[in-house]
Amino acid sequence: MNIEGSIALVTGANRGLGRSFAEGLLDRGASKVYAAARNIADIDIPGVEALELDVTNPDQVRAAAERAGDVTLLVNNAGNNTWQNLVDGDLGLIRSELDTHFYGTLNMVRAFAPILGRNNGGAIVNMLSAMSWFAYPGDNAYHVAKAAEWALTNSVRIELQSQGTVVTGVHLGLADTDMTSGFDGEKLAPADVVSAVLDGVETKTWEVLLDQWTRSVKSSLAGDPASFYSAQV
């Protein structure tokens, strides 16, 4: 999978990491980038093709696949965070996170897998999180949704191997975007995230872990969870 000459589609491309992906793909020589967002008026990136797309809307996903039948690289970046706990949180908001992260990503994979297969396999990038692997009070809807998306990523990777599609899952702590502006702590530069992810795509890496915090969280999964959570207090 070469980024140069590729034809990419990036969801949630109107801001944050999605915008950086669209720009980074063009910088790396992608021949076409579809920049998808719910409101295409928010997309002002020179050189992209704006595409109206809500990944939770099956009709819009279908229309996107019909229009972008030349895609060789799909970047599933669209996401939301409603800051809900599970026991007493708003069920509608909890469902919206699963609709976006799990079902929205699955909608895109199901729609574009045949296209990628016809275009020599190509690649899929699913933007996940270190929170795929740990719960956090006040944000557990996001944890559950990202954990489900991680399981989805592992599953479709195996299902699509036979057609030559490489599926890369990306995990990180914080990137320096509008969404994380209220958080203190070390943040990754979006351009650095994009560069590392695209390097991973070109080397057919299954999972990209972007910082030491994320690597530590994943390594803790082999142990008793009490040890991990007690260390966070």
**Inter-residue contact 133 to 217 (CB < 8 Å):** yes
The fraction of the chain above a pLDDT of 70, given in percent, is 95
pLDDT of residue 48: 98
pLDDT of residue 179: 63
- Could you tell me if residue 152 is inside a domain? yes
Q: What's at 105, amino acid-wise? A: T
Measured CA to CA, the distance from residue 85 to residue 91 in angstroms comes to 9
Q: What is the pLDDT of residues 83-137, one digit of tens each?
A: 999 999 999 999 999 999 999 999 999 999 999 999 999 999 999 999 999 999 9
Residue 176 has pLDDT above 80, yes or no: no
- Could you tell me if residue 2 is inside a domain? no
- Could you tell me if residue 122 is inside a domain? yes
Provide CB contacts within 8 A for 1, sequence distance 6+.
Answer: 72, 73, 121, 122, 123, 166, 201, 202, 204
Range of the domain at 166: 7-232
**Inter-residue contact 122 to 74 (CB < 8 Å):** yes
Question: In 10 A of CB 31, how many CB atoms?
Answer: 13
- Could you tell me if residue 97 is inside a domain? yes
Encode 122-147: b = buried (16+ Cβ within 10 Å), e = exposed: bbbbbbbbbbbbbeeeebbbbbbbbb
What mean pLDDT comes out for the span 173-183? 67
What CATH number should be reported for the domain holding residue 37? 3.40.50.720
**Inter-residue contact 55 to 10 (CB < 8 Å):** no
DSSP 188: B
Most distant CA pair in the chain, distance: 50
Measured CA to CA, the distance from residue 151 to residue 132 in angstroms comes to 9
**Inter-residue contact 36 to 53 (CB < 8 Å):** yes
- Could you tell me if residue 1 is inside a domain? no
pTM exceeds 0.85: yes
pLDDT of residue 109: 98
Number of domains in the chain: 1
pLDDT of residue 143: 98
